[in-house]
Structure 1
Amino acid sequence: MAMLTFASLSLFRSVLLVVLCLCCTGDARFKGFRRFVDRSEAIQQHTARTGPKVEDHWFTQRLDHFNGADSRVWKQRYFINDTFYRPGGPVFLMIGGEGPANPAWMQYGSWLTYAEKLGALCFLLEHRFYGNSHPTEDLSTANLHFLSSRQALADLAHFRSVVAATQGLTNSRWVAFGGSYPGSLAAWLRLKYPHLVHAAIATSAPIHATVNFPEYLEVVRRSLASHSPECPLLVKQATDTLSQKLKDPLTYSNITKDFQLCSPLQLDSLMDSAHFLESLAGNFMDVVQYNEDNRAFEGVVGTNITMKVLCGVMADASLGGVYERYAAVARLMLHTFSLRCLDARYASYLQDMANTSWSGAGAAGGRQWVYQTCTEFGFYQSTDSPNQPFTGFPLPYHLKQCYDIFNMSAAELDVEAAVKDTNEYYGGYGLRTSRVVFPNGSIDPWHALSVTLDLSEQLPAIFIKGTAHCANMYPARAEDLPQLALARDHVFLLLQQWLKE
């Protein structure tokens, strides 16, 4: 599930892409939600080893739900688990996010524990334009016009209506599940289609859109400090030292070696330096967002890298000064993801993201999610706050990516107006509906845009101290904090109560 951090997808271009994710269902490095690991191949291999094959199913959707004159249709992928279903039981609808829908979620996760207890039928619907759900022949900017949260909600509503009618589930109570961006979709589905969805579990859901999101890095600082008070201070010293070195071209050769770059460092513009600095900051952003979670069941590499590990490297004086330790973190992450080197060139990133082919590097989710941030959400994790340890990637850097990737001017693409429209349409923090619960972890930077205090008796929040992004959605394990186990129980009690209403 993404919303995941999201730097500009640079660091692990071949491994990481932009996400928010079903957090948790496809997971993403998203740009704004943006830390999303493109691990679909690893997931498929892991699932094949550990359980029965999950069959793909296909549902016919309209390309444009809001234009009756447009009759074009396409096939949307979905999965089913009817193992626990008892006639008369509820229907659980897991919402896919900004990446491939992960079939592992049809075999694992807290929602299946709830399904077993409540006799629920489970569906997972992949988000349009992600994974294998291709509504158009390519990802041109003109075609991406049909990619939006509103079209995605209409997909979900149509899927629910048709499946209910054809499978005899009209009188069943449907519950939407999602984490990160899909968590927002779950809440908004209940808001916009209350006659179709009885309740929603909106985990780690950033329901308030914002162009500039420096608070993300503020939470990263606080989360690092919760493990080691000196850790964010060391990171700050390291990033300041690196920034000073970048002012002297004579240091570039050593920087290239220290950070294991794929090509000699060359900074032709502020975009180049910002992209490099954001790529390195992404190491910490990713780890904090998913700190000590239980994604290993998905076949995810790197789950053993935690805040404790990174802060341990930053505190290790035997490695040298803070600059050397910061470089050691970067090399550790490359090694963890089996990457030979770091391609930190903005031109390479731009080339990947501007590719409109479904076979392009950005098609795994990066290009699509960046488009959604540019046209709906913003979520740009800038360094425009003094209360965080990084430097060098301010808001204008993020906005210029919108213009560069989609070849549009600021006049043609008004991000601020788009974000304002999103909050007007959904309500932002002022969301008004019922039977939606908002679980969030205190370590997760995305909680800053979610609901952490009850909005009403029917819109409760569950704030889980010490846990990260979408932690309550993962399968339970012995190492889980007591408050995480209690949070899962709390969600179940709410489900029991709401399904009786």
Structure 2
Amino acid sequence: MQLRRLLLAVLIETATVTAFVSWKDSVSRTSSDLLRKRIGKYQTDGTSTVENFVKSALQNDPSTNPLFVDLPLDHFGQNPGGQRIQSRYFVQDAYYQPGGPVIFHDIGEGSVEPWAVALTDEEDFSVSTAKRFNGLLILFEHRFYGESAPRTRVSQDLYSASRSQLTEFYKYLTIEQALEDVVYFASNFTYEFQDLPPQQLTPDKTPWIYIGVSYSGVRGAWLAKRNPGLFKATLASSAPVQLKVNFWEYFTAIEDALAINNQNCSADLHAAANWFSQVYQTRESALIDQFIDAVYQEGWQDIVRRRPGDVESDLIWDARLDFMKDAAWTAFADFQNYGVNGGTLGRFCDIMETAYDPEGTPEGVFATETLQRAAAAYAKAVASMSRYSYTSSRRTQGNQKRQDGFKPALDSGLDSYSWLWQVCTEFGAFQVANTSRPENLLPSFVNVTAQIDQCIDMFGLSEQVSRAGPDVEVINQRYQGWYLELPNTLWTNGEFDPWRALSIDSKEEDAPTNDTATTDIPQCGGSFPAGTQLRYLIRDGYHGSDVSENILNADIIGNIGDLSPTKTIGNGITATLRRNPTSTRSYLAGTPIMDALNAQSLWFNAMSSWLPCSTLPFTYTAAQATSSAPFTSRSPFPTDPSSGGSERTSSTGSKQGNAASSFTLPSMFIPLLISFTTFVTGVSGVL
């Protein structure tokens, strides 16, 4: 701990990379397509499967008109009317007609602002839903993200805050507090129309519809269980309902995808992970230093210059470790959204496998070349794919801003800190190595123990952050995890989404096997037999594919006919498929996920059935004060730090990284603003 903090100080002083260049566990923040579309509405991104522009079919742009609601900071305290928090939201009312529903799109763990720019895009999933059903669309920002956080000295300068100050600041960022925000907001919602008389828009008077992806998708499922009737229909897209601490299964989808056409790349990634593991155990620095220097250049060179006689110290080995973690993650950075050939992984494999032979070799470069030449090919791929430059620290930039007299209202790292807190305390999903598997793709030092240590490095030991890891069992027991059954809910998952392993469509060995998927939509007042739910598995789909794909024409997409449990849909996927075998299909880079259209159509048909339904009446009841703490003292998490833990347990967690979330940006550790750039290196000049 002391060494890591010393290294952090050294690196801040040099204005280079911090000790906490985290293992960037891919936060599942909805599809990158969504993010790219919203951030880059005037840009074109060749890797996106959707059009990256907004069709301004409407004259008024509601993205310029943020609204705020006052919510209790502590819904369950003795004085809920006391300290308040403002949550931001945006409204698109252009399609609303009296009697239409309220479409509530929960953004989840990120700023709502990038999403708001699509409010005039009629091919956007949520906007199209509002248009189709004459609804009022709300984009809602989660507490402690974006602009929805208390204004304090801590929130204005998170990096300078002590661990105890961070813990005090975040103590009301819990799953239950955030769920109650939605209930409170909906039950007290009012809106002034410019050209309509006042409307009764609370859920007891007007149907509310929930749309959520990833973390926000599971929030919708939890709300349906927690507050029946609040929403008349719920889309729980890519929702990881079974929380786990040790989430090594994240990589099984990647393994399956690589096994189709990229077995040589899979072998090389496995070999590279083993090499990294051995290097860290034996401290053989010569080749790894050449590798790090070739990829990270100035960031590494500045560290060495500062400590010229200390290159074998624990301090410098901590820096090497962080660089190796970053390199190990690079190939997988956007897999959950694009798969192999559609994203980083396919390009990474192409660069590495063709480093010495334009056709590549079936065995891979680590099997056919010397270690030095194989490491050079791997370095070339990492350097070409990495978006991160380590030449400027966030702390230095922050100091410059203060010298210039600039003081931001909220720290620019708020979203990353906030999600890290949630991952470390309750959500989990540490994406770690499982070295007992011959397909393992990660170094052994990417393990649960290391992730928990990083959480403690960040927030310190407390009731909320402990060596037991995230307290996932409370939520699993309260909401039943994989065994959760809900009415008026459509569950969707992508066939190759890594988060599917924690979803209702999990094919993992410890997932339930006696449940049934159907595409038969219950009519008003109807229900399914026990164990049967409305589910759709999107063929060739990834994380949130149904929401990230554009609605090509909301007026003609609709009835997809009889989707009986024995029929196949669209491209041939069986709707009731539960434990499907590994696919043998190949990917087409850059192509839309066509089967997502069937999932979208099923959602529209379900809404058409459920909206007129008068069942599930909702009555608002104010939250009751409770003295029970959300966390309890628990034993340290049992894991083998050398292997990353191969045992299955019901828990989840992550240190600096992201778990399931609703945008898909890889997370970096917080005391650092990493600029996005590309390093291009030739094989001959790598080492």
Q: TM-score range by the shorter chain?
A: 0.7 to 0.9
Counterpart among 359, 362, 365 of residue 413 in structure 2 = 362
Q: Which amino acid aligns with 2:294?
A: D
Q: Distance in 2 between matches of 1:325 and 1:287?
A: 21
Q: Distance in 2 between matches of 1:263 and 1:114?
A: 49
Q: Distance in 2 between matches of 1:154 and 1:9?
A: 37
CA-to-aligned-CA distance 1:245-267 (integer Å, 9 cap, x gap): 45312234312322224124767
Deviates more, 1:39-48 or 1:84-93: 39-48
Q: Distance in 1 between matches of 2:199 and 2:320?
A: 55
Determine if contact 2:101/2:208 at 8 Å carries over to the other structure: yes
Counterpart among 314, 325, 328 of residue 268 in structure 1 = 314
2:598 alignment partner in structure 1: 486
Determine if contact 2:331/2:385 at 8 Å carries over to the other structure: no
Question: 3-state DSSP class of the match of 1:451?
Answer: coil
Question: 3-state DSSP class of the match of 2:127?
Answer: helix
CA deviation after TM superposition for structure 1 residue 22, in Å? 5.0
Counterpart among 464, 470, 473 of residue 420 in structure 1 = 473
Superposition pairs of residues 16-31 of structure 1, within 5 angstroms: 19-23=27-31
2:119 alignment partner in structure 1: 106
CA deviation after TM superposition for structure 1 residue 317, in Å? 3.3
Q: Distance in 2 between matches of 1:318 and 1:425?
A: 55
CA-to-aligned-CA distance 1:364-419 (integer Å, 9 cap, x gap): x2211111112112100010242422213111011101111011169962545711
2:426 alignment partner in structure 1: 376
TM-score in terms of structure 1 length: 0.81
Counterpart among 324, 328, 331 of residue 380 in structure 2 = 328
CA deviation after TM superposition for structure 1 residue 314, in Å? 2.8
Question: 3-state DSSP class of the match of 1:263?
Answer: helix
Superposition pairs of residues 28-47 of structure 1, within 5 angstroms: none
CA-to-aligned-CA distance 1:441-476 (integer Å, 9 cap, x gap): 122111110111746847322111212111110242
Determine if contact 2:213/2:239 at 8 Å carries over to the other structure: yes
Identical amino acids, percent of aligned pairs: 24
Question: 3-state DSSP class of the match of 1:210?
Answer: coil
CA deviation after TM superposition for structure 1 residue 425, in Å? 1.8
1:67 alignment partner in structure 2: 77
1:222 matches 2:256: yes
Q: Distance in 1 between matches of 2:266 and 2:27?
A: 24
Q: Could you list the runs of 5+ residues in structure 2 that have no partner in the other structure?
A: 1-17, 45-51, 156-165, 192-197, 305-310, 358-364, 366-372, 397-407, 506-514, 519-527, 553-590, 614-687
Superposition pairs of residues 301-312 of structure 1, within 5 angstroms: 305-312=343-350
Q: Which amino acid aligns with 1:471?
A: S
CA-to-aligned-CA distance 1:217-244 (integer Å, 9 cap, x gap): 2222222323423321121122323444
> Alpha carbons of 1:414 and 1:317: their partners in 2 closer, same or farther (altered >3 Å)?
closer
> Alpha carbons of 1:226 and 1:82: their partners in 2 closer, same or farther (altered >3 Å)?
farther
> Alpha carbons of 1:495 and 1:388: their partners in 2 closer, same or farther (altered >3 Å)?
farther
1:354 alignment partner in structure 2: none
Question: 3-state DSSP class of the match of 1:19?
Answer: coil
CA deviation after TM superposition for structure 1 residue 53, in Å? 5.6
CA deviation after TM superposition for structure 1 residue 163, in Å? 1.1
Superposition pairs of residues 157-236 of structure 1, within 5 angstroms: 157-163=183-189, 167-170=199-202, 171-236=205-270
Q: Distance in 1 between matches of 2:53 and 2:343?
A: 25
Q: Which amino acid aligns with 1:111?
A: S
Q: Distance in 2 between matches of 1:211 and 1:44?
A: 40
Counterpart among 101, 121, 130 of residue 115 in structure 1 = 130
> Alpha carbons of 1:234 and 1:112: their partners in 2 closer, same or farther (altered >3 Å)?
same
Question: 3-state DSSP class of the match of 1:191?
Answer: helix
CA deviation after TM superposition for structure 1 residue 322, in Å? 3.6
2:95 alignment partner in structure 1: 84
> Alpha carbons of 1:45 and 1:12: their partners in 2 closer, same or farther (altered >3 Å)?
farther
> Alpha carbons of 1:191 and 1:484: their partners in 2 closer, same or farther (altered >3 Å)?
same
CA-to-aligned-CA distance 1:271-299 (integer Å, 9 cap, x gap): 65553333123222222111169xxxxxx
Q: Distance in 1 between matches of 2:70 and 2:32?
A: 25
CA-to-aligned-CA distance 1:119-160 (integer Å, 9 cap, x gap): 111101100000111135235211201101211111111111
1:473 matches 2:547: yes
Determine if contact 1:18/1:98 at 8 Å carries over to the other structure: no
Q: Distance in 2 between matches of 1:433 and 1:271?
A: 47
Q: Which amino acid aligns with 2:285?
A: P
Q: Which amino acid aligns with 2:609?
A: Q
Q: Which amino acid aligns with 2:300?
A: S
Equivalent pairs counted in the alignment come to 459
Q: Distance in 2 between matches of 1:379 and 1:480?
A: 28
Determine if contact 2:432/2:448 at 8 Å carries over to the other structure: yes
> Alpha carbons of 1:454 and 1:152: their partners in 2 closer, same or farther (altered >3 Å)?
farther
2:534 alignment partner in structure 1: 460
Q: Which amino acid aligns with 1:371?
A: W
Deviates more, 1:311-320 or 1:374-383: 311-320
Q: Distance in 2 between matches of 1:252 and 1:292?
A: 29
For the aligned residue pairs, the C-alpha RMSD in angstroms reads 3.6
Q: Distance in 2 between matches of 1:280 and 1:436?
A: 40
2:9 alignment partner in structure 1: none
User: Which fold has the larger relative contact order, with Cα–Cα distance below 8 Å and residues 6 or more apart in sequence?
Assistant: 2
Q: Which amino acid aligns with 1:307?
A: L
CA deviation after TM superposition for structure 1 residue 48, in Å? 10
Counterpart among 444, 447, 469 of residue 500 in structure 2 = 447
Q: Which amino acid aligns with 1:19?
A: V
Determine if contact 1:177/1:186 at 8 Å carries over to the other structure: yes
Q: Which amino acid aligns with 2:287?
A: T
Q: Which amino acid aligns with 2:86?
A: K
1:394 alignment partner in structure 2: 447
Counterpart among 286, 289, 293 of residue 257 in structure 1 = 293
CA deviation after TM superposition for structure 1 residue 99, in Å? 1.4
Question: 3-state DSSP class of the match of 1:459?
Answer: strand
1:152 alignment partner in structure 2: 178
Question: 3-state DSSP class of the match of 2:419?
Answer: helix
Deviates more, 1:177-186 or 1:272-281: 272-281
Q: Distance in 1 between matches of 2:348 and 2:465?
A: 42
Q: Distance in 2 between matches of 1:418 and 1:242?
A: 31
1:32 alignment partner in structure 2: none
Question: 3-state DSSP class of the match of 2:189?
Answer: helix
Q: Distance in 2 between matches of 1:58 and 1:167?
A: 19
Q: Distance in 1 between matches of 2:611 and 2:32?
A: 24
Question: 3-state DSSP class of the match of 2:595?
Answer: helix
Q: Distance in 2 between matches of 1:477 and 1:292?
A: 21
Superposition pairs of residues 281-320 of structure 1, within 5 angstroms: 281-291=328-338, 305-318=343-356
Question: 3-state DSSP class of the match of 1:99?
Answer: coil
Determine if contact 1:88/1:172 at 8 Å carries over to the other structure: yes
Determine if contact 2:208/2:233 at 8 Å carries over to the other structure: yes
Q: Distance in 2 between matches of 1:60 and 1:410?
A: 28
Q: Distance in 2 between matches of 1:100 and 1:44?
A: 20
Larger radius of gyration: 2
> Alpha carbons of 1:496 and 1:48: their partners in 2 closer, same or farther (altered >3 Å)?
closer
